Amino acid sequence: MDRKLKGLDLPSLEILKYPDPRLREVCTPVKAFDQNLRALAERMLELMFAAKGVGLAAPQVGVSICLFVSSPTFEPQDRRIYVNPRILRSDGEQEGEEGCLSFPGIACNIKRHNIVAIEALNPDGERFEETSEGLAARIFQHELDHLDGRLLVDRMGSVARLSNRRMLKELEERFNMV
């Protein structure tokens, strides 16, 4: 059993908001593929769908392990779970609007690779590869950033930072009030 998942109160999990310092933690690889991992992934999918998101990484719920979930079409049958993911190769470039559940109300244009191939494990520990493009490739890269402690604000250009400074300040003030 992974110590980070032992005794985790799944019903109380919520999506952390910037600037919570747990969002900056570099995640550790998952070693235990058990019911605790599957239950965490299912809870993350619930939270992601409730927040109307297309991706959610474990550090966004305060668990610093290498795990993210996604559903690029926002359809339940398209839900995916990625454990210990890593990019194998990428190609091309896209620029598009990107938001983040940890940055409510904020969206900005971010440059990403257009095609991304990743390798990951499923919740049973079985290895798989997946290649995606467009939005799905953007999700891979965004969620992998979270696993490395990198946030949307780190990818923003100076114009995006300037145009979102009021919202960022509000998030910081709200966090400091807690």
| Beta carbons within 8 Å of 132's beta carbon, 6+ residues apart | 72, 115, 116, 139, 140
| Beta carbons within 8 Å of 121's beta carbon, 6+ residues apart | 30, 33, 82, 83, 84, 127, 128
The identity of residue 59, as a single letter, is P
Q: Would residue 143 show up in a list of annotated catalytic residues for this protein? A: yes
Chain centroid to CA 170: how far?
22
Active-site option among 25, 93, 95, 143: 143
Q: Note the residue count of the chain.
A: 178
What are the φ and ψ backbone dihedral angles of 3, each rounded to 5 degrees? -60, -30
Beta-bridge partners for 65:
28
- As annotated, the active-site residues are 143
